[in-house]
Amino acid sequence: MTRASQPLTRRRFLSSGAAAGLGVLASPLLVPAATAAPPLITRPLGRTGFAVSTLGLGGQASLQWTPEGIDPVEIIVQAYQRGVNYFDTSNVYDKSQLNYGAAFRQLGLAPGHANYDPARRRQVFVASKTMLRMAKGLMPDGPRAEGSQGRSMRAVDDLKRTLTQVFGDGKGNYPDDAYVDLFQIHNLNFLEEVDAIYMGLDQPDPQARRIGALAALRDYRDGTNRTGLNPQEERRIRHIGITGHYSSPVLIECMQRDEDQLLDTLLVAVNANDRLYFNHQFNAIPVAAAKGMGIIAMKVFADGVMFGRKAEWNGLESGVIQTVGSATMPCAPLVQYSLSVAGVSTAIIGIGRVDQDPARCQLQQNLAAAQLAAPLDQQQLAQTEQLAASVLEGQTNYFQLPAEPLGVPRDVAVQPVGEGNARSLRLSWNMAFSADAPISHYQIDRDGREIGQVPHTPQLTKAPFTFDLPWEDGNHVYSVTTVDARGRSAASEKLTVS
User: Which residue, 467, 477, 469, 479, is CA-closest to 498?
Assistant: 477
Note the pTM of the prediction, 2 decimals. 0.92
Which residues, in sequence order, are bridge partners of residue 469?
A: 425
Taken in order 275, 279, 283, 287, the sign of the CA dihedral is negative
Kindly state the greatest CA–CA separation across the chain.
82
Q: Are 394 and 388 in contact (CB under 8 A)?
A: yes
Name the CATH code of domain 3-394 (choices 3.20.20.100, 2.60.40.1120, 3.30.43.10, 1.20.120.530). Answer: 3.20.20.100
pLDDT at 322 over 50: yes
Return the pLDDT at 26. Answer: 44
The span from the CA of 179 to the CA of 237, in Å, is 6
pLDDT in tens, 258-316: 999 999 999 999 999 999 999 999 999 999 999 999 999 999 999 999 999 999 999 88
Q: Which amino acid is at 180?
A: V
Return the pLDDT at 491. Answer: 97
Of the ranges 116-120, 139-143, 266-270, 282-286, which one carries the lowest mean pLDDT score?
A: 139-143
Return the pLDDT at 420. Answer: 74
Bigger pLDDT: 11 or 336?
A: 336
Return the pLDDT at 359. Answer: 95
Residue 336 sits at the vertex; the CA angle it makes with 335 and 340, to the nearest 5 degrees, is 125
Q: Are 82 and 370 in contact (CB under 8 A)?
A: no
- What confidence tier does 19 reach under pLDDT thresholds 50, 70, 90? low
pLDDT at 257 over 50: yes
pLDDT at 63 over 80: yes
Fold exhibited by the domain 410-497: Immunoglobulin-like (2.60.40)
pLDDT in tens, 460-493: 999 999 999 998 888 999 999 999 999 999 999 9
Return the pLDDT at 474. Answer: 85
Instruction: Give residue limits of the domains in the chain.
Output: 3-394, 410-497
The span from the CA of 350 to the CA of 59, in Å, is 6
Number of H helices, E strands in the chain: 13, 20
Question: What share of the chain has pLDDT > 70, as a percent?
Answer: 90
- What 3-state class would DSSP assign to 81? helix
CB atoms near residue 434 (< 10 Å): 24
CB atoms near residue 3 (< 10 Å): 6
Which residues neighbour 135 within 8 Å (Cβ) at sequence distance 6 or greater? 154, 155, 156, 211, 212, 213, 215, 216, 217, 227, 229
pLDDT in tens, 166-217: 999 999 999 999 999 999 999 999 999 999 999 999 999 999 999 999 999 9
pLDDT in tens, 377-396: 999 999 999 999 999 999 99
Q: Are 221 and 156 in contact (CB under 8 A)?
A: no
CB atoms near residue 455 (< 10 Å): 9
Interval 84-93 mean pLDDT: 97
Helices (H), 71-141: 72-81, 96-107, 118-122
From residue 279, give the alpha-carbon distance in Å to each of 97, 141, 255, 276: 30, 28, 16, 7
